[in-house]
Amino acid sequence: MSVRISAMSVLPPVRKDRVIAQLPQCFRKEAAFHTKEDFNNKVKTACQEQRTGTVGFKISKVIVVGDLAVGKTCLINRFCKDAFDKNYKATIGVDFEMERFEVLGVPFSLQLWDTAGQERFKCIASTYYRGAQIVIIAFDVTDIASLDHVRQWLEDALKENDPTAVQLFIVGTKKDLSSPAQYSQIEQDALKLAQEITAEYWAVSSLTGENVKEFFFRVASLAFETNVLAELEKSGPRQIGGIVRINSTPSNANASTKKKQPNCCQ
Ligand SMILES: Nc1nc2c(ncn2[C@@H]2O[C@H](COP(=O)(O)OP(=O)(O)OP(=O)(O)O)[C@@H](O)[C@H]2O)c(=O)[nH]1
Ligand SMILES: [Mg+2]
> Which residue's CA is the nearest one to ligand 1's atom 5?
174
pLDDT at 259: 40
Q: With respect to residue 132, please indicate whether it lies within any of the assigned structural domains.
A: yes
Number of domains forming the structure of the chain:
1
Q: With respect to residue 163, please indicate whether it lies within any of the assigned structural domains.
A: yes
- Mean pLDDT by 10-residue block, N- to C-terminus, for the chain (266 residues)? 51 90 98 97 94 86 98 98 97 95 96 96 92 98 98 96 95 98 97 98 98 98 96 72 46 41 45
pLDDT at 245: 46
Q: With respect to residue 226, please indicate whether it lies within any of the assigned structural domains.
A: yes
Q: With respect to residue 24, please indicate whether it lies within any of the assigned structural domains.
A: no
pLDDT at 1: 44
Residue 192: phi and psi, rounded to 5, are: -65, -45
Nearest ligand 1 atom to alpha carbon 70: 19
Q: With respect to residue 110, please indicate whether it lies within any of the assigned structural domains.
A: yes
pLDDT at 258: 39
Task: Note the ligand closest to the C-alpha atom of 117.
Answer: 1
ipTM of the complex: 0.99
Domain with 223 in it: what CATH number?
3.40.50.300
Q: Are 176 and 210 in contact (CB under 8 A)?
A: yes
Q: With respect to residue 16, please indicate whether it lies within any of the assigned structural domains.
A: no
Report whether residue 70 contacts ligand 1, using a CB cutoff of 6 Å: yes
Domain span at 107: 64-234
Q: With respect to residue 51, please indicate whether it lies within any of the assigned structural domains.
A: no
| DSSP assignment letter at 262 | P
Nearest ligand 1 atom to alpha carbon 68: 25
Q: Is 205 helix (H, G, I), strand (E, B) or coil?
A: coil
Q: Give CA angle at 86 (81, 91), nearest 5°.
A: 70
Q: Strand 106-115 and strand 94-103: pairing?
A: antiparallel
CA of 195 to the centre of ligand 2 (A): 27
Q: With respect to residue 115, please indicate whether it lies within any of the assigned structural domains.
A: yes
Report whether residue 109 contacts ligand 1, using a CB cutoff of 6 Å: no
